[in-house]
Amino acid sequence: MSLLEVQDLTTAFMTGRGEVNAVEDVSFSLNEGEILGIVGESGSGKSVTALSIMGLLPSPPARIAAGQVRFAGQTLTGLSERQMQPIRGPGIGMIFQEPMTSLNPVFSIGDQIMETIRAHERLPQAQLRARAVAMLDKVGIPAAARRLDDYPHQMSGGQRQRVMIAMALACRPRLLIADEPTTALDVTIQAQILDLLMDLRDEFGMAIIIITHNMGVIAETADRVLVMYAGRVIEEAPAARIFDHPRHPYTRGLLECVPSLTEDRARLVAIPGTLPEPARRPAGCRFAPRCAHAEPSCTQAVPALESLEPSHTAACFRARELSR
């Protein structure tokens, strides 16, 4: 049985123009120790998917409209905030895009790491401290014991992200969700952080979901890739397959403009137009208006994910003919 199973997840937001689905019918699963990359432009619904799994979306305005999330055999959707607490931390850890703002500025980093452990395990203060030092050590903060009482503003961005990772891993989660973990960092630091994540996966054996808009990051890390567009999964395949044989025109477009690790512009120049707002999504295939291969029939219905070969699915009416 897989560690995480997401089935037909639909997350809706109440907006001024009524309820709209930010994420629609998203399904995927993840095994222990596996690294899944979720890729897509900002607004494609990848972060909302992650936050839906964690139950971190503010409600209202957000709600899980349909589908379910199962983690280690337990259904997470529908759990109360209180019931979710023991899952967060020891079950699923999460790190965020902005290390600058994701740490609370008024508490020392030691305090913030220790409170995480304290929330889930009963440990004497000395052991808490030792564990925090060990975690900082693991994520490569030099002189960890001394830095425990430092405040976030005394650290660089890369260090803060390391602290975030230490914090997320402090309770040995079985799954780590990394939402754009490197986007806000300098290029050189990005690689270091990714390496660190890889090393830690090897050490702790946890599964990782890496969310990014950067195909380069996926190439470096992911075992399997989920491509999202306008709230829907449009292609899923092992990483190697995606890079070699992308089946969806959008994925192909993404790859054509792979922003390498040395060049961090997120703009997808190869694809004209912009991602439609959730409330103004076109009928039929949502990518159709931007798609070079779109036919009138593409706007008639929403294409379903279709298995093209084992473990490779795509949602495109013309996937088969185009890949030929």
When binding is defined by CB under 8 A, the residue of 26, 35, 87, 218 that contacts another protein is 87
Cα–Cα distance measured from residue 272 to residue 235, given in angstroms and rounded to the nearest whole number? 20
When binding is defined by CB under 8 A, the residue of 38, 67, 88, 189 that contacts another protein is 88
When binding is defined by CB under 8 A, the residue of 21, 44, 116, 182 that contacts another protein is 116
Q: State yes or no: residue 122 binds another protein (CB under 8 A).
A: no
At closest approach, how far in Å is the CB of 150 from another protein? 9
CA angle at residue 114 from 127 to 162, to 5 degrees? Answer: 115
When binding is defined by CB under 8 A, the residue of 154, 188, 262, 311 that contacts another protein is 154
Q: State yes or no: residue 84 binds another protein (CB under 8 A).
A: yes
Q: State yes or no: residue 5 binds another protein (CB under 8 A).
A: no
Q: Which of 233, 259, 44 is nearest to 224 (CA)?
A: 233
In the region spanning residues 40 to 69, those forming contacts with another protein, defined by CB under 8 A, are 54, 56
Q: 129-132 — which CB contacts under 8 Å span 24+ positions?
A: 131/170, 132/166, 132/170
Q: State yes or no: residue 98 binds another protein (CB under 8 A).
A: yes
Q: State yes or no: residue 75 binds another protein (CB under 8 A).
A: no
When binding is defined by CB under 8 A, the residue of 63, 120, 172, 293 that contacts another protein is 120
Q: 32-35 — which CB contacts under 8 Å span 24+ positions?
A: 32/2, 32/3, 32/174, 32/205, 32/206, 32/207, 33/201, 33/205, 33/206, 33/207, 34/3, 34/207, 34/208, 34/223, 34/224, 35/201, 35/207, 35/208, 35/209, 35/210, 35/221, 35/222, 35/223, 35/224
Q: State yes or no: residue 141 binds another protein (CB under 8 A).
A: no
Q: State yes or no: residue 168 binds another protein (CB under 8 A).
A: yes
At closest approach, how far in Å is the CB of 156 from another protein? 15
- In order of 127, 173, 295, the CA distances from 122 in angstroms are 10, 17, 61
When binding is defined by CB under 8 A, the residue of 127, 153, 272, 311 that contacts another protein is 153
Cα–Cα distance measured from residue 252 to residue 220, given in angstroms and rounded to the nearest whole number? 18
Closer by beta carbon to another protein, 90 or else 282 = 90
> Which residue ranges make up the site for another protein (CB under 8 A)?
54, 56, 81-82, 84-90, 93-94, 96, 98, 101-108, 115-116, 119-120, 151, 153-154, 164, 167-168, 171
